[in-house]
Amino acid sequence: MTLNLPYVGRFAPSPTGPLHFGSLVAAVASYADARAAGGRWLLRIEDVDTPRCTQAAALEILHQLAVYGFEADGAVIRQSERYEHYEVALGQLAHDGRLFACACTRKMLGSAPHNAWGEVIYPGRCRDLGIADSTHATALRLRVQDDADAQVAFTDRTLGALTQNVASHVGDFILRRADGLYAYQLAVVVDDAEHGVTDVVRGEDLLMNTPRQIYLQRALGYAAPSYLHVPLAKNDAGEKLSKQTRALAIADDAAVDTLNLAWSFLGQPEMGPMASVTHFWRHAAAHWKPALLRPATRAATVSE
């Protein structure tokens, strides 16, 4: 089941630090895609991982987006204010027999196989043990059916047709952590569904999450949005720009120039000098061409 509704996109930064060029690239792509489609663009602060997120970083991100001309359609959404929604989804899955409590530690899973991107493929150790879920002392995992339902196929708007068997490449995955925090996979799926997101435009670093998110959407009876994953900006060492690789924050006093750099990085038609961010976005909405990101010509398995 897919969506056939008026376009609703979103940008969803985690407030673990300021926006850098890599995050700006994703923001530009999502905003241009929404505006070119005449759609709505939502801003969601993904602060569900409270130990890593700060209010100061969230405020800085909002300031940076304003300086760079991004205008959200509606109030800013904060995951830290939506816990009851995630709990309702967990209740539905529990009622359907799709959850189980897991007491596994990293050490216990040390000998488990890993997938191609370094994650443990959960071996089902606690799946049928009937461990009591006592005061959030255990994680909650989604019971991934080991059958045809685990085969997820979708078409990325730039990468083309992609498939993954979630059972064999991921296994039962966590929806609520042992420390009681809701997992990214659950929060993003519930948020996108409840806010009517039809189109997800984000960096390729999140591509591997897409099959399990579609699998979870199916389990909850949600429609799947369209996906477009954009190339990642990297440093001279070939590492993705991030807080961990000490990427510099985008500067307030170079907004137009930096937007042009992001636009060029995305392979879009050359703009030439722009007088203001307002002029930049007017041009971007009229000339955004997702097909220039990367030819959608290959079929692949999301496990390589």
CB within 8 Å of 95: residues ≥ 6 apart = none
| Structure token pair of residue 168 | 């064999």
Judged against a pLDDT cut of 80, whether residue 205 lies above it is answered with yes
pLDDT category at 300 given cuts 50, 70, 90 is very low
Q: Comparing 284 with 249, which gets the higher pLDDT? A: 284
- Residue 88: phi and psi, rounded to 5, are -60, -45
Residue 260: pLDDT band (50, 70, 90) is very high
Q: Render pLDDT for 30-49 as a digit per residue (tens, 0 to 9).
A: 999 999 999 999 999 999 99
Beta strands in the chain (DSSP E): 8-11, 40-45, 77-78, 99-102, 139-142, 151-156, 160-165, 174-176, 199-203, 226-230, 300-301
Higher pLDDT, 60 or 242: 60
Q: Is the pLDDT of residue 227 over 60?
A: yes
pTM, full prediction = 0.91
| Domains contained in the chain, CATH given | 8-301 (3.40.50.620)
Residue found under tokens 């089941």: 1
